[in-house]
């Protein structure tokens, strides 16, 4: 039946694999676990880039040119979330433990990703000066990815909790996810747009890369924000583009001194 359904879509043969039920289940888990591991790998490379005077976006492009690796799922950020990767990595790790064939790579991937979300909250705190008690932090993007209202395991949840634990007042905005966000995130204010969220804020943080956030009017933001600080956890913007408007910029996996001065590393 499946062969007949897909036959008109391909000139020769549709890419169908016929296998056992258990094997097909493992194919699904293994695929999502591998992609989750790939995201976690580039996130750790980003941390190293910040310390050795390198740029993770260039590293991603460079290794992505290798056909054995590919360019997809190599975008550094605040960690993966959603309905598939967290669930399937946990299921694969648990199944492997039950059958006495533990998957240490996947177990470590899960642990690193959980820790990373909190680490992004600490990154915001550092960008603001180390003390955010009583300060207002504006969060743009609450869902785990754009073009959805899905809040399941969204990095924004852990980032906001970390900021709240440090004493910050948080205001959030998301184009689609605020109704669901209200069910899982407590004690924050919700804005009707990015500029309302930024009004009077001590920092603006991009957590989800919605298209609406890719062309912000920084002159307008500068007029209403209390402290012109942008923490871009998705590397949407170029640092020089933001800095020319008088903002302090913090991205993921870049050396801020090199970006600000144009200095090159000592090997060049």
User: Which active-site residues does the annotation give?
Assistant: 84
Of the chain, the end-to-end C-alpha distance in Å amounts to 61
d(CA 212, CA 75): 19
* C-alpha to C-alpha distance for 159 and 18, rounded to whole angstroms: 43
Number of other residues whose CB lies within 10 A of the CB of residue 173: 25
Q: What is the 3-state secondary structure (H, E, C) of 72-115?
A: CCCCCCCCCCCCCHHHHHHHHHHHHHHCCCCCHHHHHHHHHHHH
């Amino acid at each position: 039946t499946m062969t007949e359904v897909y036959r008109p879509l391909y000139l020769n043969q549709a890419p169908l694999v016929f296998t056992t039920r258990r094997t097909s289940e493992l194919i699904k888990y293994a695929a999502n676990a591998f992609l989750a591991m790939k995201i976690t790998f580039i996130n750790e490379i980003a941390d190293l880039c910040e310390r050795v005077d390198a740029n993770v976006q260039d590293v991603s492009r460079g290794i992505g040119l290798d056909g054995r690796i590919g360019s997809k799922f190599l975008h550094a950020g605040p960690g993966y979330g959603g309905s598939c990767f967290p669930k399937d990595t946990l299921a694969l790790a648990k199944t492997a433990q039950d059958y006495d064939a533990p998957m240490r790579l996947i177990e470590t991937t899960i642990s690193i990703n959980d820790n990373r979300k909190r680490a992004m909250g600490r990154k915001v705190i550092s960008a603001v000066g180390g003390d955010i008690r009583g300060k207002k932090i504006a969060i743009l993007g609450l869902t785990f990815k754009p073009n959805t209202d899905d809040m399941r395991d969204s990095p924004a949840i852990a980032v906001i909790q970390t900021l709240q634990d440090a004493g910050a007042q948080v205001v959030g905005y998301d184009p689609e996810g605020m109704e669901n966000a209200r069910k899982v995130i407590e004690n924050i204010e919700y804005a009707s747009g990015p500029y309302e969220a930024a009004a009077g804020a001590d920092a603006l943080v991009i957590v989800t890369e919605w298209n609406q956030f890719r062309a912000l009017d920084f002159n307008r933001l500068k007029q209403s924000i209390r402290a012109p600080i942008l923490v871009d956890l998705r590397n949407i913007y170029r640092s020089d583009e933001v800095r020319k408007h008088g903002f302090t910029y913090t991205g993921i996996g870049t050396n801020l001194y090199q970006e600000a001065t144009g200095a090159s590393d000592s090997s060049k």
